[in-house]
Amino acid sequence: DTILVTGANGYIASWVVRRLLEKGYNVRGTVRKAEKSEYLKNYFESYVKQGRLEVVVVEDITKEGAFDEAVKGVHAIEHMASPVPVNDNGGDPEEFIRPAVDGTLGILKSALKNNSAIKRIVVTSSSAAVSTVTPEARTFSEVDWNELSINEIREQGRQAHPMTKYRASKTLAEKALWKFYEENVKKEGRVTWDVAALNPPFVYGPGIQEISSPSTLNATLKVWYDFVYSPSASSAKPKEAFELSNSWVDVRDLADAHVLALEKVEAGGERIIVTQGAYVWQEWLDIANALPSSLVEKSSSPLPKGFPEITAQPQSLTYKIRYDTAKKQRILGVKYRTKEETTRDTVEDFVSRGW
Ligand code: NDP
Neighbour-count burial of 188, counting CB atoms closer than 10 A to its CB (0-12 exposed, 13-18 middle, 19+ buried): exposed
Strand pairing report for 277-280 and 245-250: antiparallel
pLDDT above 70: residue 190: no
* ipTM of predicted complex: 0.99
Out of 19, 84, 146, 211, mutate this one to test ligand 1's pocket (max ligand atoms within 8 Å of CB): namely 84
| pLDDT confidence tier of residue 156, bands split at 50, 70 and 90 | very high
Enumerate the domain spans of the chain. Answer: 204-250+276-355
Task: Point out the ligand 1 atom lying closest to the alpha carbon of residue 9.
Answer: 9
Average pLDDT rounded to a whole number, residues 36-58? 98
Question: How many whole angstroms from 85 Cα to the centroid of ligand 1?
Answer: 9
- The residue nearest atom 14 of ligand 1, judged by CA position, is 83
Nearest CA to ligand 1 atom 12: 81
Spatial distance between the Cα atoms of 178 and 101, rounded to a whole number of angstroms: 12
The closest alpha carbon to 123, from 143, 137, 109, 103, belongs to: 103
How many Cα neighbours within 13 Å face the side chain of 242?
Answer: 24
pTM: predicted TM-score of the whole model, two decimal places? 0.97
Q: Relative to the CA of 62, which ligand 1 atom is closest?
A: 19
pLDDT in tens, 204-230: 999 999 999 999 999 999 999 999 999
Distance from the CA of 96 to the center of ligand 1, in angstroms? 11
Q: What pLDDT is stored for residue 318 in this prediction?
A: 87
Answer for the pair 144, 128: CB distance below 8 angstroms, yes or no.
no
E strands in 149-244: 194-199, 202-204
pLDDT reported for residue 115: 73
Distance CA 113, CA 92 (A): 31
Q: What percent of the chain has pLDDT over 90?
A: 90
Q: Is 145 helix (H, G, I), strand (E, B) or coil?
A: coil
Q: What is the mean pLDDT of residues 296-301?
A: 94
Ligand 1 surroundings by CB, under 6 angstroms: 7, 9-13, 32, 36, 61, 80-84, 99, 124, 126, 170, 200, 202-203, 218, 220
- Tens digits of per-residue pLDDT, 117-147? 899 999 999 999 999 988 889 999 999 999 9
Q: Which of 12, 17, 104, 251 to mutate to test the pocket of ligand 1 (most atoms within 8 A of CB)?
A: 12
Which of ligand 1's atoms lies nearest the C-alpha of 209? Answer: 3
